Structure 1
Amino acid sequence: MVFVASSIVLFLFDRFSHPALPAYIIAGVIVGNFFPADEMINFTQIGLSFLVFIFGVKMDPERLKSVAGDGLKTAAVQITAVSVLAVGLSMIMNLSGFETLVFVLATALSSTLVGLDLLEKEIDLKLAHGRLAESIHLSQDLIAVMFLMILGASAFTFEAVSQSFIHGFGVLALALLFRKYALDHLADLTENSRELLMLVSITILIGFLGLTEYFQISLAIGSFAAGLAVSKYPHNMEILDTTGSLKDFFSAIFFVSLGALLTVPTPQVLIMSAVMLVLTVIGKPFAVITSLVALGQNKRTAYLTGFSIDQVSEFALIITIQAYISGLIGGTVFQAVIITATVSMMISSYTAKHGDRIYNLLSEHDHIEAFGDKEERSKHNLEDHVIVVGHDTQGKRIIETLRDEEKEYIVIDNDPEKVTDLKEKGENFVFGDVMEIDTWERADYREACLIISTVPLEKTSRKILSLPTDADKILRSEDIEEAEKLLEDGAIYVNVPEVLSAELLPDHIEGLMENRRYREDLRRRNMLEVRKYLQNLEG
C-alpha cells in the first residue's frame, strides 16, 4: 500500500513539476485510511532510523570549522528566541510540563533530513549558506540527542537520567573511536568492493541499533552513531553512492507513514498547529536571517540559510512519538506536532525549490540592516583584468596560466576555506555570492576583459551572461545541450568536462590573451564540437 500509493501520487506530482515530499505525505493520508495508527508509528520509526543513519554518514564536523562561530551564534539566537515565544504560548494554552517541552522542541528544532538532504534543490554544502545551514542543524541535532537520552531513562530521577547519558555518550564515543581507528582498516579489507563496503556499513548500523536496544536508549541515537562511525572521507562517499536506492526506499516509508498519522483535527488541534506553524515557518527563518545579517553575512546567504530550517525536526518527531507512546503527552499535542511536521515539510519543499524567487521578492521590502561585513575583497579599481569564478582545481590551473601571461586577475568564491587560502597566498579575491550584483561590483566587472566560471550550475552561468559588460565569458556545464544554449546566448566557450577536454582551456586562455581575433575562432570551433557530439548522440 505504501509503495503503490506513493508511486501513483508521485507520478502525478512529477508530471506537474512539484517536489516529491508532498506527494509522499498525500499518499500517506490515503494509506492511513486502511491501517491503524500504532502500526504506522512503527513504520515511521523504522524509516526514520535509516534516514538518520544516512545523515550521520554525511556528517563532516571538520568542514564546518570556517563557519562554526556564526553557525553556533545563529543557532543559539534562533533556539532562544523561538523557545521563549513557545514557552509563553504554551502557558496560555495550559499545557503540562512535558507537553510544553515537546511543544518547544517541535517549534525550535529543524529537520536536517528535509533541510539539507531530501529536497529537490541545489544546495552546495561547500558554499557559505550550505555550511551555515549544516552547522545550525548539527547544533540543533546535538540538543535533540540529549533530550532523547533523557526521555530514554527508565525513570525521571537523577540516577536514571545520568545512566542514560552515560550510555548515550558512550555509544557516540565508541562511534568516533571506530571512525578514527578502525574504519580505514576495515575498508582496506573490503578490497575496494563497493557492494561489500555497503554491507559492512549496514552491519555496523545493525550493530549500533542492537547496542542501543541493549542499553534501552533511543534507536535514533544508535542510527546517528552508526552514521558517524562510517562518515570518514572517502569511504562515506562510496557508502552514500551504494545506499542511494535504500535511502529512497526508507524515505518513502518515513514520509508516507508520517502522512498516515494525520487524522481529522479538532478545533483545539487546529489552533495549536497554526501557532506552531507560524513559529516554525516564519519565526525560525526570521531569527536566522536577522542574526546572520547582523553578523555580517550577505542577505542572500542569510535568506537561503533561513529557508533550510523552516520545518519540524525528525528528532523532535521521535521525541513526540516516544512521549505519546509512554503517555507523557496527550493526543492533542501529538496530533498538533504531526500536522505541523507534515505541513511545514511540504512548505519547506517549495521554499527550497523557489528560494531565489522568494529572496528576490522579500529582500526588496525588508528592513534588515547589516552590522558588519563578511564580504571581503583584496584589491580595488582593477582594469582590463580577468575574473575567475571558483577557486577549485581548474580555477587554480587557470590562475597559473594568467600568472604566466602576466595578466591581472581576481577570484570570486563563496567558500570560506578557499577564501582563507587565497588570502594567505596573497591572491586578489572577492568573498561573496555570484548571484548578488554587489559581488560583481566589488570585482569591477564592467572593467574586466574576460570572465571565466568553473562552476557547473546553470543559474550561475545565466547570471554571468546577464551581466551588462563587454567582457568575454567562458563558462562550464555538465550537460552538452545546456552548453549549446549557453554558446547561442553569448558565451565564447563552454567547458563540458565529459565531452571537451578541460586540459585545453589554459591554451585557449593563452590564445585569447595574445590574440583578440582568437575569440571568434574559439567560439566557432566550440560550437561545432558541441553540435557534432549532439548529432552523434542522436545518431
Structure 2
Amino acid sequence: MTAFALLLVTAAVAYGFCRFFRLPSIPVLIGAGMLLGMAGLVPEGLALGGGEGTMGMLELGLVFLVFASGVELNPRRFRRFGKAVLWVAGVQFSLAMGVGFLCAIWMGMGTLEAVYVGGGLAASSTLVVLRHLQERKAMFEPYGRVVTGVLLLQDVALVLLIIVLSHVDDGGWNVGRGLLEAAVLGGAAWVAQRFVIPKLVFRFKPDEENLLLWLVAVLLGFVGLASWLDLPLIAGAFVGGFVFSAFPLNGLVRGQLSSLVDFFQAMFFVALGALLGVPEAGLWGQALVYSLVVIVVTPPLVALVAEWRGLNARAGIESGLLLAQTSEYSLLLGLGGVMLGHVSPETFSVLALTTVITMTATPFLGRESVANFLLPFHPLRKKGRIESAPSGHVLILGFGSAGMWTLKPLLAQGENVLVVDDDAVVCAALAKKGIPFLRGDGAEVEVLEKAGARDAKLVIASMRRVGDALTVLRHVKGVPVVARVFEEVDAEKIREAGGRPVMNSMAAADTFMAWLENNDRVKG
C-alpha cells in the first residue's frame, strides 16, 4: 500500500509539473520515476527480477491501457482502406522485426532473445499514436484510418507473438494449443461485440455510473477468461476493449475512460521509470541504436507502401512519422521474457529505454511541419511548368483527396483552372489527367505570385491550417476567396478577413457551387 501511495504522489506531482510548464507528460513521468530510484525510494518488488511484484505493478497499468486502446480500434473505421492497411502492417511489421532481429544478433544476443528484441521494435504505440490523432482531429482522415488499422493488426500480431513465446519451451503442441485458445478468446469477444453488449445496452440503457461498472466487469471477465485459458492477461484486456469498439458504443464509453486512462498512464510510466532507475551508459548506447533503427526504418517503409497502395505522399509520410516508436506491448513482451528467463534484465532495460526515447520523440517527429519539410524531397518525375503567371483563372490551393469534387464541375463549366499542391503523388495524378498544376506550398508568397493569385477570378483555399488561408487572403485583396474550415471559430476568422468559409468542403460542395454560379465577379 505504501508503494502504491508513493507512486501515486509522484505521478500527481509530475502531472502538475507538466501542466504548469506545458511539457509532454510521458518523459516527465518516466523521469519522476527515475528520481525515485536515484533517491533510494524504489518500492519493494519493483527491482528487475523481483518476481511477481514487478509484473503486478506494471501489468496493472498495462492491462487497463490496452483495454482502453482496444476500444478505439474499430475495424469498420478502416474497412475502405483494408488492402492498404494489410500491406502496410504486413510489410512494416515483418521487415522492422527482421531488421531488429539482425541488429540484436549483431550485438551478440542469442536467437530467442533477438526474437524478443525484433518483436519489440516492430510494433508502434497505440496509446501514443491515437492520442496524437485525436489531438490533431485526424482520426477520420484517410491516413488516420490507415494508421488505426495498422495499429490494430500490429497489436494482434504482438499478442500472438507473446502467446507463442510464452509456450515455446513447452513444444510445438502447446504453442498450437495456445493459438487455438487465443482464437476461442477472440471469437467470444466478437460474439459479445456483435450480439450481446449492444442488445444489453439498448435494453437496460445504463447511466454513466452503471456503464463504467459494465466496462470494468467486461474487462475483468475477459482477463479472467484469458487466465483460465492460460493466456497472457494482456490478451484478455485487448479483446475486452474490442467488445466496446463498435460505433456508437465506443463514443459512449470513451468519456468514461478518459480520466481512468490518464490515471493508469501516470501510474504505469512512473512505475516504469522507478523500475529502470538510472541505466548504465552502455545500455543507453544500445537503446540509441535501436531507436535509430525504429526512426530511420519505419517512416520511409510505411510511406512507400502506403503510397503504393493509394495514399498520397503527405498521408504516407505522416503515417510513417506517427508510427515511428515502440509500443507499450513491447514492454510487456520484454517483461514476460524476463519472467520466463528468455530475456536478461539488461535487455529489458534496453527495450524500455528504446520505448522511452521513441515515445518522447514522437510529439516532435509527428508534427505537420516535419512532414512539410520532407515533402519537397519526394521525387516527382513530371514537374509542373508555367511559362508566365496566368490571369482570369480559378486557382485551387491544396488539392488533397477531395479536390476532384471541386475540380470536376469547374472543368465542366469550361473554367481555366490551375491547381497548386505540394504532394508529389497528387501532382503526378494531375499531370496524368492533363490538368495544369504547380507544385509548391500555397501559403508561400512566391508560389502565389507564380500562380497569378492576384489576377485570378476565384481562389479556393483548401489547406489544412486556417493560418495559411489567412495568408492567402492578405495577399489577394479584392479577389473572391473560398476557404475550407473545420471549426466555427476558424470560419469566423475567415469572414473577418473577407473570405467565404465552407465547412468541410466535400459536404458543402452544393453550397459552394450555388455561390459560384451567383457571384457576378466570377461570372464575368
TM bracket (short chain): 0.7 to 0.9
In the alignment, what sits opposite 1:471? Answer: 480
Aligned amino acid, residue 6 of structure 1: A
- In the TM superposition, residue 41 of structure 1 has moved relative to its aligned partner by 4.4
Alignment of structure 1 residues 297-446 onto 2, 5 Å? 297-352=311-366, 355-364=367-376, 366=377, 368-369=378-379
**Post-superposition offset of 1:387:** 7.0
C-alpha distance in 1, partners of 2:509/2:225?
Answer: 54
Which of 136, 142, 157 is the aligned partner of 2:150? 136
1:44 to 49, 58, 77: 58
1:280 equivalent to 2:284? Answer no
Instruction: Describe the shift of the 1:13–1:515 C-alpha distance in structure 2 as closer, same or farther (beyond 3 A).
Output: same
Amino acid paired to 1:339: L
Partners of 2:35 and 2:26 in 1: how far apart?
15
SS of 1:369's equivalent? Answer: coil
* Identity within the alignment, %: 22
Alpha-carbon distance in structure 2 between the residues aligned to 1:173 and 1:58: 19
Match of 1:219 among 233, 238, 242: 233
One-letter identity of the residue aligned with 1:209: V
Instruction: Tell me, yes or no, if structure 1 residue 290 matches structure 2 residue 295.
Output: no
1:169-212 per-residue CA deviation (whole Å, 9 max, x = no partner) reads 11111100111111221111232634323321221111111111
Matches of 1:200 and 1:15, distance apart in 2: 35
**CA spacing shift, 1:102–1:245, aligned 2, 3 Å:** same
**The one of 143, 162, 175 aligned to 1:148:** 162
Please list every run of 5 or more consecutive structure 2 residues that lacks an aligned counterpart in the other structure.
Answer: 1-5, 383-389, 422-434
- 254, 267, 285: which is aligned to 1:240? 254
| Displacement after TM superposition at 1:510 (Å) | 5.5
SS of the residue corresponding to residue 231 of structure 1 reads coil
Structure 1 residues 399-446: Cα deviation after superposition (integer angstroms, max 9, x where no partner): 9xx99xx99899x9x9xxxxxxxxxxxxxx99xx998789x99xx995
Aligned partner of 1:22: which letter? P
1:384 and 1:192 mapped to 2: Cα distance?
A: 57
User: What is the deviation of 1:121?
Assistant: 3.7
Structure 2 SS opposite 1:473 = strand
Alignment of structure 1 residues 78-89 onto 2, 5 Å: 78-89=92-103
Of the three residues 67, 91, 113, the one matched with 2:127 is 113
Alignment partners' CA distance in 2, 1:177 and 1:512 = 51
Moved more, 17-26 or 333-342: 17-26
After TM superposition, the structure 1 = structure 2 runs for residues 245-256 of structure 1, keeping only pairs within 5 Å, are 245-256=259-270
- Residue deviations 1:100-134 (CA, integer Å, cap 9, x gap): 11110122221111122367841512212212212
Q: CA deviation at 1:390?
A: 11
Greater mean alpha carbon deviation, residues 444-453 or residues 214-223? 444-453
* Aligned match of 1:29: 34
**Contact 1:82–1:283 at 8 Å: present in 2 too?**
yes
Deviations 1:340-361 (A, max 9, x none): 1111111112222xx2222233
Cα displacement (A) at 1:299: 2.5
Q: Which residue of 1 aligns with 2:22?
A: 17
1:7 aligns to what? 12
- Identify if the C-alpha distance between structure 1 residues 287 and 51 changes in structure 2 by more than 3 Å, giving closer, same or farther: same
Using structure 2 for the length normalisation, give the TM-score.
0.77
Asked if structure 2 preserves the Cα contact closer than 8 Å seen for 1:167 and 1:215, the reply is yes
Asked if the contact 2:88/2:150 (under 8 Å) is kept, the reply is yes
Map of 1:178 onto structure 2 = 192
Size of the alignment, in residue pairs? 479
5+ residue gaps, structure 1, are 373-380, 415-428, 498-502, 519-539
SS in 2 for 1:261: helix
Deviations 1:131-187 (A, max 9, x none): 221222222212101112213438431221122112111111110011111122111
Contact persistence 1:451–1:474 (CA under 8 A): yes
State whether residues 71 and 242 of structure 2, in contact with CA within 8 Å, keep that contact through their aligned partners in structure 1: yes
Q: Is the 8 A contact 2:61 2:268 kept in 1?
A: yes
1:525 corresponds to = none
The answer to whether the Cα contact below 8 Å between 2:10 and 2:32 also exists between their aligned partners in 1 is yes
- 1:23 is paired with a residue whose SS is helix
Q: Distance in 1 between matches of 2:414 and 2:201?
A: 46
Output the amino acid matched with 1:369. P
**Are residue 514 (structure 1) and residue 524 (structure 2) matched?**
no
Superposition TM-score, scaled by structure 1 size: 0.75
- Structure 1 counterpart of 2:96, which letter? V
CA shift in 2, pair 1:203/1:491, >3 Å? farther
2:285 counterpart (245, 250, 271): 271
